[in-house]
Amino acid sequence: MGKQFQRLEAAHIAFIQTQKFFFNASAAPVGRVNVSPRDAKSMRILDPNTAIYLDLTGSGNETAAHIRADGRLTFMFCSFEGSPMILRLYGRGRVIRRGCPEYESLLKVYFGGCETLGARQMIQLTIDQVQTSCGYNVPLFEYAGDRETLLRWAEAKGTEGLKRYWSEKNTRSIDGFPTGLVEDSGAPESF
């Protein structure tokens, strides 16, 4: 049932482009494993071994902390409509900081220069293995639409309010690992 690949093939990319959301999973060497849902509209495939997504502000910033502490990262896509399939992308993650030249270049080339309100960074996955599996037990769901709640929240916060929120809520993981989003004066780089 399951098959493994060294890189994304055209059929995998086509599958990713039809998804509404995906999950990313990360972990530090110790502490909790994090699994987070992400909007698939934020995903871009740069080449058969590289994917990025525009990471929006959330209540935490576990992925960035785990990448900084360990680097392992997995993306998982599930078919909730049509033919069943699960697609996992395994590899190493990297955070691309908002406002740096690489971020600006990727934003221009892959997102038409449009930054989603509340974007805090990009997450890059360098893929070292692709795995498909059947997904026969994944239930069927119908897509009802996007939620606008996060965008309205970010709009109400404004630029300065988002920066304050990042400083208050997004500088450390729930296990205390630094995220690097906002400079952490005197904080240790790893645990």
175 found inside a domain: no
Digit-coded pLDDT (tens) for 44-80: 999 999 999 999 999 999 999 999 999 999 999 999 9
Provide the pLDDT for residue 1: 66
DSSP 8-state code for residue 34: E
User: How far apart are the C-alpha atoms of 17 and 42, rounded to whole Å?
Assistant: 11
pTM of this prediction?
0.93
144 found inside a domain: yes
Mean pLDDT, the chain cut into blocks of 10 residues (191 residues total): 94 97 97 96 98 96 97 97 96 97 98 96 98 95 94 96 96 96 49 23
Question: Partners of 108 in the beta sheet?
Answer: none
Name the nearest CA neighbour of 98 among 59, 61, 70, 69: 61
Provide the pLDDT for residue 191: 23
DSSP per residue over 139-172, as a string?
Answer: PP--------HHHHHHHHHHHHHHHHHHHHHSSB
186 found inside a domain: no
76 found inside a domain: yes
Provide the pLDDT for residue 2: 87
14 found inside a domain: yes
User: What range does the domain containing 136 cover?
Assistant: 3-169
185 found inside a domain: no
Residues 68 and 89: beta-carbon distance below 8 Å: no
Cα 188–chain centre separation: 24
Total domains in the chain come to 1
User: How far apart are the C-alpha atoms of 38 and 56, rounded to whole Å?
Assistant: 9
CB neighbours (10 Å) of residue 4? 11
174 found inside a domain: no
Q: What is the CATH number of the domain that holds 24?
A: 2.30.110.10
User: How far apart are the C-alpha atoms of 91 and 50, rounded to whole Å?
Assistant: 9
108 found inside a domain: yes
Residues 114 and 92: beta-carbon distance below 8 Å: no
